[in-house]
Each structure stands twice: as C-alpha cells, then as structure tokens.
Amino acid sequence: MIMPTTTPDAAAEALHARTITRTLVPESRRSRFLPQLFPGRIRGLPGFLWGEAQLYDVAKKLCPDYRGGFWSFYRLSNTGLYAAPEMECATVTVRWADNFFDGEMSPDAFGIVATLFALSAACCVSQSDALAGRYDTLRDFAAEHDERNLIFRAID
C-alpha cells in the first residue's frame, strides 16, 4: 500500500501559506502609498503624480458609474500594492471597448483592474523594472481573488 506523502491538513496548510493577503493602509501612511505604487519618474514627472492621474482617468474610462471619491489603499503580503474606490454599491459595471469586455464586478475588483491598467500604462512609457514588478505582484494577487475570471477578462 502506498501512503500519501502529505496529509490533507498539510496540503491545506501549504495552500494557505501561499495565499496572498491584503492589509488596508492606515491613514497615517496614506501619503507614502502612491510614491511606492508608482516609484521613480514617469514622463518627467514624479511617478506618483503621473500614476495617480492615470489611475483616476482609467477608472473614469472603465466605469460609467464612477464619479470620483475616496480610494482605499492596500498592501499585499507579496509586496504588491493596489487602490480601490470606496463605493456604496455592491457591484459596478466595467466596460473596455478595446477587448470587448462588459461585466459587473465589486468595487474591489474594479480597483484591481484600474490599478493594473494604470501600472501597465506606466510600464509602457517608463520601461521601469520596479513598475513591472508592481504589476506582476498585483497580477499574482488577482489570480487568487474571488473575481479573478472577471479581472482577467477585463485586462485581457
């Protein structure tokens, strides 16, 4: 008889150990968040200024219901970062004509999509390894998100 090398509990623990977790950035550290999300310079501007404008602009283009407002900032256990708008609705409509995406998702998933779009745009104009790393760590978190299928369809 062949015995399994790991017990079901050990396999579950190993899976849990790989799970990327998020932590809300406290109010006292919010001013440091955008410079960390968009480090360096982008098109001659401090990265955080260019990145913030890009993030909010892409949010307006993606979501017809988005009208601005407060955003929550999150740190990920894999060193990633992302922002998500605080919205009172459970789901928002997200549309992107370039890939024919049209779907409903939570404001959190919408924030991940918007942050990925903003990071992608930043990478295209800056060729920064740090920005590419930010994109990769957030994409890894998105792959574990409950709405991963929608997120990946939206950014495809």
Question: What does the alpha-carbon distance between residue 127 and residue 122 come to, in Å, rounded to a whole number?
Answer: 8
| Phi and psi, residue 41, nearest 5° | -115, 145
> What integer pLDDT is reported at residue 147 of this predicted model?
98
Fold category of 22-155 in CATH: Alpha-Beta Plaits (3.30.70)
Q: What is the pTM of this model?
A: 0.87
Facing residues of 45 across strands? 42
Percent share of the chain, pLDDT over 70: 88
Radius of gyration of the chain (CA): 17
Amino acid identity of 14?
A: A
Q: What is the pLDDT of residues 9-55, one digit of tens each?
A: 544 444 445 699 999 999 999 999 999 999 998 888 889 999 999 99
Q: What is the pLDDT of residues 111-148, one digit of tens each?
A: 999 999 999 999 999 888 999 999 999 999 999 999 99
Helix axes 47-62, 30-37, angle to 10 degrees: 90
The pLDDT of residue 108 is above 90: yes
> What integer pLDDT is reported at residue 18 of this predicted model?
66
Percent share of the chain, pLDDT over 90: 77
